[in-house]
Amino acid sequence: MSVLELRDLNVTYRTEGGDVPAVRGVNLTLEIGETVGLAGESGCGKSTIAAAVLRLLPKGTKVTGEVLLDGEDVYAMRPGRLRAVRWTSAAIVFQGALHSLNPVRRVGQQIEEAIRLHAGERAETRAVELLERVGLPAARAQHYPHQLSGGQRQRVLIALALACEPKLLIADEPTTALDVMVQAQVLALLEELQRDRGLSLLFITHDLSVLTHTCEKLAVMYAGRIVEQGPSKAVFERPDHPYTRALAASFPTIGDPASRMNPRGLAGDPPDPSALPSGCPFQIRCDVAIPECTTLDVALRDAVSVKGLADRRAACVHVGVARV
Amino acid sequence: MWGWRVSDPSPNGNVVELTNVQVQFNGGRVRAVDTVSLEVGRSEVVALVGESGCGKTTLIRSIIGLEPLAHGSITVLGQEVGGRRGLRSLRRRVQMIFQDPTGALNPRHSIYEAVAEGLRIHKVKGHEPTLVAGALSSAGLRPAERYLRRFPHELSGGQRQRVLIAAAMALQPALLLADEPVASLDASIRGEILALMRSFVDSHGVSIIAVTHDLGLAWNIADRVAVMYLGRIVEVGPTEEVLGAPKHPYTRALLSVVPEVAGLEQQILTGETPDPSRVPSGCRFHPRCPVVASGEADRLGFGDRCRGVDLELEPEVGDHRVACHAVAISATAGQ
């Protein structure tokens, strides 16, 4: 059974200015011990998915489709069951470590609290063990968040997320605010946890190059949809969707003469989710758009028709043939 | 108007010259910048790279006179920074752009006001609306008329950074100081902004010092790279040499953890970013240095120098200079 399965997930925020569809028909599966990366620009819906998995969306947000954690629909759970599932089945590490921790409580206490609420026993010892597990000395348990550096706080958040030994860890831009060296430390830690404990990891970031090095599979989102997915190295090196191609090209390869003095990016901005154009939402920024793209919104389909290689899919008129 | 070029900066062609610059905080207990010398020529882009707390932002702030120097001197366009006299004219010729464009813009000022403000402060001659429109379109906000009456919240992050670049370039500066100019932007937008910055160098002869922890930025637009560690430049040279054949163990470690570099074995330095109020004795990098930690430095007989003797940049090959005992010793041995 899959650890996480999203079936035709749609999330629509209700705002004063009208409905904003943030996630539109996303299907995604995460097997035990698997790492999947979710990439895309600001506003593409990737963080909305993180919040949707544990029902952390603002009140009144419209959610359709299914979110299955270990085969159980999160949106059909009773409040008590939901509270148990959060932390023990799945936990989230957010980007802003400073804002996720309580500033007036010692970090050790904050981890203990999570353990007491869910697992109960030996909370104090377990909290120290967890801190050591993420590379922080036991003495740090006595510190307040402001006494720790950005990298240390991020480690505390990871320790906190691991408090109840979840099977699934959702990491939403866990390294974005960190220096390169500290980022490397945190990424190495996540890889180690995933390897040693068979943790499944859903890794969300706009940094495609980080995902390629951390995740086996990659899903690229644009305007609320997955527009390309497949094995991460293959997707990064030989993208099928023009959006992925532009995104991948914007990460220069140091030492590569082609990117020397030649920064590349993607002109324009993503479309406003409350006013999506008809046809393919990427057409305005696409360098290979054809007249059909203004009317035709292609669904995700097999990118490679050769047998055995059908693990790559993309949502583009130029790609493969429609799956029957 | 947009055909302007930076006039000859100073007798020796340098736009900025830093000589043994030291900036201290807390009465000298924190040595944020500790003996740094650096020259930047006309039409040159220098990337100043290093971790948080290495002093790179303090260093560029000192160039526009925002940080008093404890020692050393800074001249910009042949004029010494620090004296009260001429600070305004200096500030026109040296412009700064920041990491967070949202925080740098006044939310109640229209885009027109954001660009016009600098022109008014510096009493720039000419027809203001024409100057503003010209600056906006040169920064890629075209047609400019579509942006003039809008407010920062109506623009995307990339567009806001373009507004700030337009406001800086409207003053026809000789030097642009950019503090993590693309760190808060999406990867897709990043390349566009960097290309824009580089285009000002090529078309107007502007020089840029870009402070960043992003080595990809250096590879994309910089002529030279200076690597800073705990207040000091530990390696400097042409981008191809510093990033293609790094000599300092710290530069090598930094490069090895950048996902965009292929083929280098990852060398993750342990410990936190070092603290400028407790600069280690000897080579300041020695407590984290893989060459020292592996015992290689002791085996080759210079471990004591690493732990005991502080050092500055030595010439390596041509313009490529490194502050490392291992490199200095192997260079002497090779002669």
Rg, chain A, Cα only? 21
Instruction: State the pLDDT at residue B88.
Output: 76
Instruction: State the pLDDT at residue A117.
Output: 81
> What's the start-to-end Cα distance of chain A, in Å?
25
- Report whether B180 contacts B209 (CB < 8 A): no
Instruction: State the pLDDT at residue A307.
Output: 52
CA distance A176 to A95: 7
CA distance A26 to A228: 11
Which residue of A lies nearest to B155 if distances are taken between CA atoms? A269
Would strands B79-80 and B232-238 be described as parallel, antiparallel, or unpaired? Answer: unpaired
Which residue of A lies nearest to B266 if distances are taken between CA atoms? A184
- Identify which has the larger pLDDT, B99 or B236: B236
Please say if the pLDDT value at position A116 is more than 90: no
- What one-letter code names the amino acid at A98? L
Query: From the CA of B269, how many Å to the nearest CA of chain A?
Result: 7
Mutate to test the interface with B, among A44, A134, A180 (most CBs of B within 10 A): A180
From the list B187, B261, B270, which residue is nearest A250 (CB)?
B187
Query: In what side-by-side order are the strands of the sheet with A62-69?
Result: A18-30, A4-15, A62-69, A72-73
> What's the start-to-end Cα distance of chain B, in Å?
54
Contacts B258 to A, Cβ<8 Å: 180, 254
Instruction: State the pLDDT at residue B40.
Output: 96
- Report whether B226 contacts B48 (CB < 8 A): yes
Average of pLDDT values for B17-39?
Answer: 93
Please say if the pLDDT value at position A285 is more than 60: yes
Give the mean pLDDT of chain A.
89
CA dihedral for A108, A114, A117, A120, sign (positive or negative): negative
Average of pLDDT values for B156-171?
Answer: 94
Q: How confident is the model at residue A304 (pLDDT cuts 50, 70, 90)?
A: low
- Identify which has the larger pLDDT, B185 or A323: B185
State which residues form the domain around A253: 4-89+166-314
**Are the beta carbons of B258 and A213 separated by less than 8 Å?**
no
Instruction: State the pLDDT at residue B170.
Output: 95
Please say if the pLDDT value at position A169 is more than 50: yes
Find, among A285, A302, A289, the residue nearest to A228 by Cα: A302
Contacts B268 to A, Cβ<8 Å: 181, 184-185, 188
Residue A188, in any domain of the structure: yes
Estimate to the nearest angstrom the gap between the alpha carbon of A127 and the chain centroid: 26
Instruction: State the pLDDT at residue A322.
Output: 46
Average of pLDDT values for B209-215?
Answer: 93
Q: How confident is the model at residue A323 (pLDDT cuts 50, 70, 90)?
A: very low
**Are the beta carbons of A266 and B198 separated by less than 8 Å?**
no
What CATH class does B14-334 carry?
alpha beta
Residue A120, in any domain of the structure: no
Which residue of B lies nearest to A269 if distances are taken between CA atoms? B156
Read off the pLDDT of residues A78-110 as tens digits, 9 standing for 90 and up.
999 998 898 889 999 887 666 788 999 999 999
**Are the beta carbons of A254 and B258 separated by less than 8 Å?**
yes
Mutate to test the interface with A, among B45, B100, B186, B211 (most CBs of A within 10 A): B186
- Identify which has the larger pLDDT, A226 or B271: A226
Residue A292, in any domain of the structure: yes
Contacts A152 to B, Cβ<8 Å: 272
pTM as predicted: 0.89
- Identify which has the larger pLDDT, B81 or A76: A76
Alpha helices (H) along chain B: 56-63, 87-93, 101-104, 111-121, 128-138, 145-148, 157-169, 187-204, 215-221, 239-244, 249-256, 290-293, 296-299, 303-308, 325-334
From the list A247, A252, A265, which residue is nearest B219 (CB)?
A252
Contacts of B323 (CB under 8 A, 6+ apart): B232, B233, B234, B235, B248, B283, B311, B312, B313, B314
Instruction: State the pLDDT at residue B121.
Output: 94
Which residue of A lies nearest to B158 if distances are taken between CA atoms? A269
pLDDT > 90: percent of chain B? 70
Read off the pLDDT of residues A173-202 as tens digits, 9 standing for 90 and up.
888 777 888 888 888 888 988 888 889 999
User: Residue ranges per domain, chain B?
Assistant: 14-334
Q: Which residues of B touch A (CB under 8 A)?
A: 51-52, 156-159, 186-195, 198, 213-216, 219-221, 239-240, 243-244, 253-255, 257-262, 266, 268-270, 272-273
Element at A244 (helix H, strand E)? helix A242-249
Average of pLDDT values for B313-333?
Answer: 83
The number of folded domains in chain A is 1
Max mean pLDDT range (A92-101, B86-95, B218-227): B218-227
Residue A186, in any domain of the structure: yes
Estimate to the nearest angstrom the gap between the alpha carbon of A180 and the chain centroid: 20
Max mean pLDDT range (A21-35, A90-104, A178-192, A302-316): A21-35
Contacts A185 to B, Cβ<8 Å: 268, 270
Residue A275, in any domain of the structure: yes
Please say if the pLDDT value at position B275 is more than 90: no
Average of pLDDT values for A61-88?
Answer: 94
Average of pLDDT values for A3-26?
Answer: 94
From the list B193, B213, B260, which residue is nearest A252 (CB)?
B260
Contacts B193 to A, Cβ<8 Å: 265
Average of pLDDT values for A201-229?
Answer: 93
Contacts B186 to A, Cβ<8 Å: 41-42, 206
How many beta-carbon contacts under 8 Å exist across A and B? 121
Estimate to the nearest angstrom the gap between the alpha carbon of A104 and the chain centroid: 29
Q: How many residues does chain A have?
A: 324
Q: How many residues does chain B have?
A: 335
CATH number of the domain encompassing residue A49: 3.40.50.300
**Are the beta carbons of A252 and B220 separated by less than 8 Å?**
yes
Instruction: State the pLDDT at residue A133.
Output: 82
Query: From the CA of B79, how many Å to the nearest CA of chain A?
Result: 31
- Identify which has the larger pLDDT, B318 or B50: B50
Residue A253, in any domain of the structure: yes
Residue A135, in any domain of the structure: no
Contacts B253 to A, Cβ<8 Å: 181
Average of pLDDT values for A297-322?
Answer: 77
Please say if the pLDDT value at position B309 is more than 70: yes
Please say if the pLDDT value at position A204 is more than 80: yes
DSSP string, A157-202: HHHHHHTT--SEEEEESTTTTS-HHHHHHHHHHHHHHHHHH--EEE
Residue A322, in any domain of the structure: no
Which residue of B lies nearest to A268 if distances are taken between CA atoms? B189
Please say if the pLDDT value at position A217 is more than 60: yes
Instruction: State the pLDDT at residue A176.
Output: 78
Instruction: State the pLDDT at residue A324.
Output: 41
Contacts B52 to A, Cβ<8 Å: 150, 179
Instruction: State the pLDDT at residue A308.
Output: 52
Please say if the pLDDT value at position A8 is more than 50: yes
Instruction: State the pLDDT at residue B335.
Output: 54
- Torsion, CA A237, CA A242, CA A247, CA A251, rounded to 10: 40
Contacts A209 to B, Cβ<8 Å: 259-260
Contacts B187 to A, Cβ<8 Å: 41, 206-208, 247, 250-251, 265
Instruction: State the pLDDT at residue A199.
Output: 92
Element at B18 (helix H, strand E)? strand B14-25
Please say if the pLDDT value at position B270 is more than 50: yes
CA distance B121 to B98: 20
Contacts B156 to A, Cβ<8 Å: 269
Q: How confident is the model at residue B242 (pLDDT cuts 50, 70, 90)?
A: very high
From the list B213, B244, B261, which residue is nearest A179 (CB)?
B213
Q: Which residues of A touch B (CB under 8 A)?
A: 41-42, 149-152, 179-185, 188, 206-210, 212-213, 246-247, 249-255, 259-267, 269
Contacts B255 to A, Cβ<8 Å: 254
